[in-house]
Amino acid sequence: MVSTISFPAIVGTADMMLKSATVRLVGYEKVGNGFCTAIVRGQITDVRMAVEAGAETAREFGQLVSTIVIPRPYPNLEAILPISTKLSQLTDGRYSRLSNQAIGLLETRGFPAMVGSADMMLKSADVYLAGYETIGAGLCTAIIRGNVANVAIAIEAGMYEAERIGEFHTLMIIPRPLDDLEDTLPTSEYWIETPTPVNIPMAALQEQQRELVELPNLEISQEIAEMETITIGDRP
């Protein structure tokens, strides 16, 4: 586990952990006042490498709070880790139209500054507002998606707008998010789609049935069935 005091910082930390070792990001825990914890699972050596890389990333942002590695957790410890292993399993096959695009996160202190910065980001570049996250202490994060260049332009414009309205806190741009990271980020219901089943007309089904060819009924002839078996030692 790695803990920070910023949602963009914890997402960037989680991204680094996933890319530095073979671990699974099972989710975040937010306990208020801006404190966020990313939790990964895997082999002990991989988890140690991931936590070390994540802590270094959080330290670079000046947001590192604490880290911990639990080598052999007892099953009952799961009772205080109420985090799903993969949020995509809860969507019943649904998917986001914004998947596989770069992620931009801009955190402000205060909801008006976050809304104003989101509006400016949408108007300054070809990006999409995927959702937002609040973690207490007045910290709000707008999450945008798009290609890397547009996300970078939008984030810069949003940062200046946030400073004009209220207080800008921090930002993060992730060019190539992994699937595990995408599954833990909030996505507005507006962008979630459910695959539509394909209905085949009854006329088409009937046509297919008429095209079926009936195979001939192959039977062994009576003469072959009544032939006597000749062993190797028999002679005429």
Q: At what angle do helices 7-20 and 44-60 cross, to 10 degrees?
A: 140
| pLDDT recorded at residue 235 | 47
CA 73/CA 75 separation, integer angstroms: 6
Domains with residue ranges and CATH for the chain: 2-73+83-193 (3.30.70.1710)
| pLDDT recorded at residue 231 | 47
Beta bridge partners of 64: 4
Alpha helices in 1-110 (DSSP H): 7-20, 44-60
CA 204/CA 210 separation, integer angstroms: 10
Token pair 């192959």 is found at 218
| pLDDT recorded at residue 182 | 81
Q: Are 97 and 129 in contact (CB under 8 A)?
A: no
The torsion angle over the Cα atoms of residues 13, 147, 95 and 132, rounded to 10 degrees, is 60
69-104 pLDDT, tens digit each: 999 888 778 777 755 544 445 445 565 666 788 999
E strand intervals along the chain:
2-4, 24-32, 35-41, 64-67, 95-96, 102-109, 128-134, 139-146, 167-174, 192-193
| pLDDT recorded at residue 216 | 56
Structure tokens given for 54: 């994540």
Spans in the chain with pLDDT lower than 50: 85-88, 90-91, 218, 224, 229-236
CA distances from 206 to 175, 193, 199, 209, 210 (A): 50, 32, 14, 5, 6
In the DSSP assignment, the letter for residue 39 is: E
